[in-house]
Chains A and B, each alone.
Chain A
């Protein structure tokens, strides 16, 4: 028996498998995760992954080619993409990434069975609609989603259970772990609490855009500006060929990665620029300090977000036991040194398999069949201002455990509606109203004794709470979905 996990990322995606002893990530031939880039060329099957990414600049502006990047960040959108005259929903496009991951694993890792079902990871801020769209995408590719797990939880599991002997101690541990995930497209900082076999989110913060891919663009602009100044080329008419720019971006990305290990990196490109007189080659050395001065503001912004996460959780740095650095951008030495200063050297962990740890954690969760659970109770506010708990905190979110029919009588029908107030219990004192459903009921006073509101509560596989409520006036019930249930991960 094996368990599969899929990290469907904004910039990169990767699948992994766990067989009970060791985890294997289905990376590409360069030992890297697959870029989440889809390249459509006419009616043929699209190209996905590194090949697609490397051709963006060459063919982006050529008719008959369409590239789609970062489809994950657009998955919530209802509108359709126009691809060579055909309309496609975002989840139909995203399905190409799942199809590619499945096909690539089958072609290159033949000792493992095909991916038929998997635990898929999602960011904390993803709501039910986004999860539902991802499920559709996976299902089109022939992959059933066992369950959705938040990315930071999968990262913690992937890191802590890299050594399977830790499994027993994990159920007794109580720790606050800061997961700092800075990849190509987004920065997600999450404070996770590990408490007696449960993992849940305490506070979170993040930002979009100012991440690895953006740093590549910034560094590329710096290189081009420096080249122009060195060669004293006038700005007027100066334009680097898009194909060459594509090569440069590629070189710059590798230089940036090099600068995390070395104090300087070189970029060389022959025939970089041609004007009416001559050809220019590009030879440029970039010092780490130069790169750091370019991105310093963004590093400071990231550290401010760390402060905010701690502040929201009302915790001091001393109360954090581990800081897991995940994603390529978190390898930048300036960031690491700032983390060391804030938390101390021993607590900051640079995960060596930072690109694949989320998928690996998901594979371990899938193998053990661990389930998400409800962190905060869901209830109904009643007429006497008490609360009836429909689903208790700790309820495992499986279809058979999360179905309830509640029949309510009415205490006042003068307004002709039953007011069903759905709440989430924040603590012993506080309830937060999640939804108010006004159910039409009879206004005839004497019908008060026979009037009933029948409410059905169901949590589906996408962790969406659906409530249907019906009174006597209308035949059809009113449906409401709650997409932002707070859920954690429970070890069996």
Chain B
């Protein structure tokens, strides 16, 4: 097998793998669609526990859209948002070096 054939085979395999990853990602996405975006506030007019903590249940990226100033300020974000929300937000930040939302995992940022 010459070098050009080998390179071609490698490309084909990589393309296949990429497709596979895409399929898995799409499946995950459709599963995620099943997630609810509602929380109980009152039942028959009676307020439930955590009913006033709406902001704590926003997904991190959405919280950053709604309250950008609080989320971008590192000191304020610790006060207003949960650890989970901050992680979710950080995962959406586009990396300066790799230009992707790598959450600090790309080789360039290391």
A residues neighboring B (CB under 8 Å): 380-385, 388, 404-415, 418-421, 433, 436, 445-446, 448-449, 452-453
The answer on a CB contact under 8 Å between B44 and A380 is no
Is B78 in the interface zone, CB < 8 Å from A?
Answer: no
Docked-complex contact B62 and A414, CB < 8 angstroms: yes
Q: B79 on the interface (CB 8 Å rule)?
A: no
A409→B44 contact, CB < 8 A: no
A386 (CB) vs chain B CBs: closest residue: B39
Cβ B57 vs Cβ A383 within 8 A: yes
Contacts of B43 in A (CB 8 A): 404-407
B42, B57, B66: the one contacting A406 at CB < 8 Å is B42
Report 15 cross-chain contacts, Cβ distance below 8 Å, ordered by A residue: A384-B39, A405-B43, A406-B40, A407-B43, A408-B40, A409-B51, A410-B37, A410-B38, A411-B57, A412-B37, A415-B37, A419-B35, A419-B38, A420-B36, A448-B54
* Interchain CB contact under 8 A, A409 and B66: no
Instruction: Kindly identify which residue among B42, B54, B66 contacts A446, using a CB–CB cutoff of 8 Å.
Output: B66
Contacts of B42 in A (CB 8 A): 406-407
Expressed in whole angstroms, the Cα–Cα distance for A385 and B35 within the complex equals: 7
For residue A452, which residues in chain B have a CB less than 8 angstroms away from its CB? 41
A405 to B34, CA, bound (A): 23
- Please tell me the number of chain B residues within 8 Å of chain A, measured between CB atoms: 21
User: Across the interface, do B38 and A411 meet the contact criterion of CB distance under 8 Å?
Assistant: yes
Taking a contact as CB atoms closer than 8 A, the residue among A404, A405, A406, A411 that contacts B37 in the complex is A411
Q: Scoring B residues 54 to 71 as 1 if CB is less than 8 Å from chain A, else 0, what string do you get?
A: 100111001001100000
A-B pairs with the 7 shortest C-beta distances?
Answer: A408-B38, A411-B57, A407-B42, A412-B37, A407-B41, A409-B41, A421-B36
Q: Given the complex of chains A and B, what is the CA–CA distance between A281 and B43 in angstroms? A: 77
Choose among B36, B45, B54 the residue that contacts A405 (Cβ–Cβ < 8 A). B45
Q: Do residues A409 and B38 form an inter-chain contact, with CB atoms below 8 A?
A: yes
Q: B62 to A380, Cβ gap below 8 A? A: no
Check if A404 sits within 8 Å of B57, measured CB to CB.
no
The A-contacting residues of B in range 7-65, CB under 8 angstroms, are 34-45, 48, 51, 54, 57-59, 62, 65
Closest-by-CB residue of B relative to A387 is B36
* Contact assessment for A383 and B39 in the assembled complex, using a CB-CB cutoff below 8 Å: yes
Q: CB distance B40 to A419 under 8 Å?
A: no
Beta-carbon contact of B54 and A383 below 8 Å: no
Residues on A with C-beta less than 8 A from B51 are 409
Contact A408-B39, Cβ < 8 Å, known A445-B65, A448-B66? yes
